[in-house]
Amino acid sequence: MKTKIKIFNMLLTVFFFATLIGCSSESSDQVSGEEHAQLTQAPYVPQAIARKHATKVIIDLEVREVIKRLSDDVDYVFWTFGGDVPGSFMRVREGDLVEFHLHNHPLNKLPHNIDLHAVTGPGGGAASSFTAPGHTSIFSFTAKNPGLFVYHCATAPVGMHIANGMYGLILVEPKEGLPHVDREYYVMQGEFYTEGNYGEAGLQPFSMQKALTETPDYVVFNGSVGALVGDKSLKANVGESVRLYIGNGGPNLISSFHVIGEIFDLVYNEGGNNALQKNVQTTLVPAGGSSIVEFKVDVPGNFIMVDHSIFRAFNKGALGMISVNGADNKTIYSGKQKDELYNGNSSSANGVNPFTGELNKSNGKEEYISKYSTGDSKVDENLLKTAMAGADKSSSSGNLFNLGQTVYNMSCVACHQADGKGIANVFPPLTGSDWLKTHSKEEAIKNVIMGRTGELTVNNKVYNGIMPPQNIDDTQSAAVLTYVYKKFAGKDVSISADEVKKVRAGKK
Amino acid sequence: MGLKKVNTVLLLIGLMNIIVSAQNRKVNIPEGMVLISGGVYTPLYGAKKDSITVKVEPFYMDKYPVTNAQFLEFVKKNPKWQRSKMKNLFADKNYLSNWKSDSELGEKVLPNSPVTNISWFAAKAYCKYYKKRLPSVAEWELVAKASAAKPDGSQDPNYIKQILEWYSRPTPEKIPQIGLRGKNYWGVFDLHGLVWEWTSDFFSALVTGESRGDSGLERNLFCGSGSVNASDFKNYPAFMRFAFRSSLKANYATNNLGFRCVRDIK
C-alpha cells in the first residue's frame, strides 16, 4: 500500500511539474520590457506593432479645453484628449499592460476622466482616472481583448463632455497582428449642438436643449466641417489597399458610413477583430462604437466619405474625401461615354413630367401644364419676353423667378444648398459670389449647360470639383440663372431662353 | 408636542427679530458682507417630490471672493501661511504658485482678482482669522441659485445658459477682477463667472468619479447624469459644480479655485 501511495505521489508530483512547465511554455506572452506609446492625431494612425510579445506600454494623454474652428467663421470650445477632436489614436497589442497617465491641464475649467471601452473593469477606468485641473491620474489595465475601441470622458454631465469632443479610438492589435495594407487612416464622426444654427458665425456655445432633443446642427468627421476635404483629403494611389479605422463618438447619432464609388472589400463589423463581412456598401457605426473597413482603390478620382443619412452629409458637414491618384482603368469605370438627346415625351409612352411628378398617360399627344408656369413652354417664352421688356415684375418676371426657384430646388440645391451658400471647401457659394459679379452672363450659362471642371476661385477660396452639365432645357436654364442672379448674387439680371440657345449653339 | 410647537414658534420669532433688526440697523451687518435670510436648498436644481431638502438658516456672506491683496494681508499677519513655509499636508506645490514671492504678488495676478491656488486648509484658516467660516455646500448653492432679479433663478433659461457658458470655457491666463459683473438678488457678486469656490463640506459631494454609477448609489440625493431628462435638464451647471468639488482633495491648490467666507448671525 505504502509503495503504491508513494508511486501515486510521485506521479502526482511529475504531473504537477509537467503542468507547470506546460503553463510556462504556453505563457510565452508574459509582459516584458517597457515603452511609451506613440500617439497620433487624426487622420493619422501609429505604425503597426512589430513586437511579438506583450510589454508594458505607458500612455500619456493630456486633456485640454481649447477654442478651435468648427466650420468657416464658426468657433467652438472643444474639450479634447490631446488637443484635437477626435482624441489621439492609441495602438497597443493584445496582452499589453497599459499604464495610463491622464493629465488634466491646469488652465482647464473642469475635472475630467476617461472610460476606455478596451478596459475590462468597472467604469472602464472612469473612477480611477477622475482628475482635477492641474493634476494627473495613473491607472493600469491589461488589454485583454483585441479590437478597435472607443474611449471617452465620463464625468458628469457625461453627455456634455462627449458632445464637446471628448472621444477617440484605441486599437488593440490581435497577437498575430493585422494583415498588411498600404495605407491606414483614422476617421471619427461626432455631432455638435450649438446655440446658433448651422453656419451662424462666431463662438458658438453648446446647446443643451438641442443635445437633449438630439437635433445637432453639425455632424462632422474629425472634429470640424471640411476636416477631410481639399488639401486635407485622405490620399492613396491606384492599386493600393486602404484601411480606415472608423469611430463614432456620438453622443447621439448612429452613423451609416459609406464611401461613394467604393465597395468595402472587408469589414470588421463594429470594430471586432474578425473580418466577417465582404463586399459591403455601407457599414453601421454605433454611437460609442467603431468599424474597420478595407478596400483596394482601383481607379483615380475623388471618393466622397459620407454618413449616408444623407442630409447630415450635405447639410451638416458629414463629408470627407479620399483623393486617389493614378492611371484610369476604363474597363472598371469608363467615365461618360456619350451624351445623347432624349425626348421623354415622344420616345416613351410613360414618361414623368419632372415638374408635376405626374405620369404622362398618353403617348406624347397630351400636353402637360406645369403648376409653376401659366402654360406650356411657348407661354414661358412669352413670359420671358415680357420680363425682358421690363414689364411688371411682380407678375410676369415673378413667374420666371418662380420657375427658376423650382428648377433650383430640383437641380442645384443638393450642392449649392437652399441658402445658396454651398458647402465649405467643397461646393462654391452663389450667395454674394464675386464670380457671378465679375463674369459674363454667357460664362454663367456655359457653367449650367456644359458643366465646369477644375479650379475655380470664389470669394478668395479655391474650389476644385466637378459640376456636371445640367440636363434642363433652354427655358429652365434661363429661369434658374435669373433666379440665382436675383436671389443670391443681388444682381437684377434676366436671362432669356434665346441667350441660352445661342451659347448652346456656339459650343458646337 | 405642544412645547415643541411653542419652541419652534419662539425660534421663528427670534429669527425674524434678528433679520428685522439686521435689516433695520445696518450697523449689524459686517463690512463687506450681506445678509442672506436663509431658505430651503434642494440638492441639485429641479425638485422631485421625494427629494431631500436642507433648511438653511440666515447668515452673512462676503459680497466678493477673497482677493489676492486681501490674502496677502492675511499672509503677512500669519507668516505660517506663507508659500515657502507650506507643508504638503496642508497645500500642494501649487499653493500660491502664481505669486511672485511670499510677500509680493508679481505680474501674473491682479491685486483685485480672486485669490486662487489656495488649499481648503488655507481658505479655512483665512476665514477663521477674520472670525468667519467657509460656507457649506447648501449655503453656497442657496445663494448661487439666485439670478439678478429672483432668489431662485433656476427656472430662468437665460440665467442657466450664462452659467453654462462660463463653465464651458477654459480659465483665462489672468483671472479678471472682482465685481465687474452684476450682483445677484442677495447683493452677492461673482458666484459664477470668475472662479470656483471652496465650501466647508466639499468632500460630501456625491459624485464618485464614475458619474454614471451614482444614479444607482445615491438616487434620492443625486440623480446621476444618466437619468437627466427634459424636465430637470437645468441640473447641468449643478452637476458640473458637484463633479468639480468631488475631484478635489483638501490640500489641492488649483488655479481656478478660490473662496469667500460667511459668518453666523449671533
The predicted-structure confidence for A143-176, as pLDDT tens digits, reads as follows 999 999 999 999 888 899 999 999 999 999 999 9
Nearest CB neighbour to A205, from listed B168, B226, B233: B168
Size of interface A-B (CB pairs under 8 A): 116
In percent, how much of chain A has pLDDT > 70? Answer: 83
Whose cell is 468595402? That residue is: A264
Tell me the nearest-neighbour CA distance from B26 into chain A, angstroms. Answer: 38
Looking at residue A86, its pLDDT comes to: 97
DSSP string, B100-118: SSSS---SSS-TTSBP-S-
Q: Output the pLDDT for position A345.
A: 60
Give the confidence band of A127 by pLDDT, cuts at 50, 70, 90. Answer: confident
Query: Which has the higher per-residue pLDDT, A498 or A349?
Result: A498
Q: Using the predicted structure, report yes or no on whether residue A97 has a pLDDT greater than 50.
A: yes
- A171: CB partners within 8 A, 6+ apart: A45, A89, A90, A91, A92, A147, A148, A149, A245
- Mean pLDDT, chain B, as a whole number? 80
Q: Which residue in B210, B233, B255 has the most chain A C-beta atoms within 10 A of its own C-beta, making it the best mutation to test that interface? A: B210
**Contact flag B210-A206 (C-beta cutoff 8 Å):** no
**Cross-chain Cβ contact A131/B212 below 8 Å:** no
User: Per-residue pLDDT tens for A2-31?
Assistant: 555 566 565 555 555 444 444 443 445 789
Best residue in A155, A160, A194 for a mutation probing chain B (most B CBs within 10 Å): A155
Lowest mean pLDDT among A96-110, B141-155, B159-173, B186-200: B159-173
User: Could you tell me which of B248, B264, B261 has the C-alpha nearest to residue B67?
Assistant: B261
pLDDT at B223 over 50: no
Whether residue B228 and residue A157 make contact (CB cut-off 8 A), yes or no, is yes
**With bands split at pLDDT 50, 70 and 90, how would you rate the model's confidence at B94?**
very high
pLDDT at A410: 75
| Contact criterion met (CB < 8 Å) for B211 and A126 | yes
A chain contacts of residue B243, beta-carbon cutoff 8 Å: 110-111, 155-157
**Mean pLDDT across chain A:** 85
Please give the Cα distance from A222 to A70 (Å, whole number): 10
- H/E stretch holding B4 reads helix B2-24
The residue-averaged pLDDT of A269-290 equals: 94
Q: Do strands A147-152 and A461-467 pair parallel, antiparallel, or not at all (unpaired)?
A: unpaired
Residue A142 has pLDDT above 90, yes or no: yes
- Supply the pLDDT for residue B1: 45
| Rounded Cα–Cα distance for residues A279 and A298 (Å) | 15
* Rounded CA separation A387/A391 (Å): 6
Number of Cβ within 10 Å of residue B249's Cβ equals 12
Return the higher-pLDDT residue of B266 and A333. Answer: A333
Within 8 A of A106 by CB-CB distance, chain B residues are 94, 254-255
Q: Above 90 in pLDDT, residue A383?
A: no
Q: Do the Cβ atoms of B169 and A206 come within 8 Å?
A: no
Q: Is the pLDDT of residue A364 over 60?
A: no
* The pLDDT of residue A388: 42
Q: Any bridge partners for residue A71, and if so which? A: A74
Farthest-apart Cα atoms in chain A, separation: 125
The SS3 call for residue B222 is coil
Which chain B residue has its CA at the smallest distance from A63's CA?
A: B170
Per-residue confidence (pLDDT) for residue A241, from 0 to 100: 97
Residue B214 or residue B201, greater confidence = B201
Q: What pLDDT shows up at residue A355?
A: 56
Q: What is the pLDDT of residue B95?
A: 96
Q: Is the pLDDT of residue A491 over 90?
A: no
Q: Is the pLDDT of residue B228 over 80?
A: no
pLDDT in tens, A433-480: 999 988 888 999 999 988 888 888 999 888 887 787 887 888 889 999
Asked if residues A240 and A326 have their Cβ atoms less than 8 Å apart, the reply is no
pLDDT at residue A92 in the model:
97
* Structure-model confidence comparison of residues A417 and A115, the more confident one: A115
Contact call for B209 and A159, based on CB within 8 A = no
pLDDT of residue A7: 60
Total residues belonging to chain B: 266
Spatial strand order of the sheet with A218-221 comes to A218-221, A183-192, A241-250, A289-296, A264-268, A277-280
Ramachandran sector of residue A395 (left: φ over 0; alpha: ψ -120 to 50; beta: rest): alpha
With cut-offs at 50, 70 and 90, classify the pLDDT of residue B229: very low
Number of neighbouring beta carbons within 10 Å of residue A136: 13
Looking at residue A341, what is its pLDDT?
78
Q: For residue A370, is pLDDT > 50?
A: no
**Which whole number is the average pLDDT over A305-310?**
95
DSSP class of residue B232 equals G
The reply to whether residue A65 touches residue B170, judged by beta carbons under 8 angstroms, is: yes
| pLDDT at residue A394 in the model | 39
Q: What residues of chain B have any CB closer than 8 angstroms to a CB in chain A?
A: 94, 161, 164-165, 167-171, 173, 207-214, 224-226, 228, 230, 233, 235-236, 239-240, 242-244, 246-248, 252, 254-256
CB-CB neighbors (< 8 A) of B250 in chain A: none
- pLDDT, residue B157, reads 79
Helix axes of A398-407 and A474-487: crossing angle, nearest 10 degrees = 100
Distances (CA, A) of B95 to B115, B120, B251: 11, 11, 9
pLDDT band at A115 (very low <50, low <70, confident <90, very high): very high
Q: In the structure grid, which three cell numbers stand for residue A55, read together?
A: 510589454
Return left, alpha or beta for B196; rule: phi > 0 is left, psi -120 to 50 is alpha, else beta. Answer: beta
- SS3 readout for A436-480: HHHCCHHHHHHHHHHCEEEEEEECCEEEEEEECCCCCCHHHHHHH
Mean pLDDT calculated for residue range A216-228 = 96
Of B225, B247, B252, the CB nearest to A158: B225
Contact B227, B215 (CB under 8 A): yes
Q: Which residue has the higher pLDDT, A465 or B229?
A: A465
- Chain B residue numbers with beta carbons less than 8 Å from the beta carbon of A208 are 164, 233, 236
Separation CA A167–CA A250 (nearest Å): 9
For residue range A66-78, list pLDDT tens digits in order.
999 999 889 999 9
Specify the pTM: 0.71
Alpha-helical regions (H) of A44-187: 158-163
Fold classification of B31-264 (topology level): paralog of FGE (formylglycine-generating enzyme) (3.90.1580)
Using DSSP's 3-state secondary structure scheme, residue A481 falls into helix
Residue with cell 489595465: A141
- What's the pLDDT at B200? 92
Torsion of CA B160, B162, B165, B170, to 10 degrees: -120
Question: What is the band of A367 on the pLDDT scale with cuts at 50, 70, 90?
Answer: very low
Q: Is A387 left (phi over 0), alpha (psi -120 to 50) or beta?
A: alpha
Contact criterion met (CB < 8 Å) for A108 and B171: yes
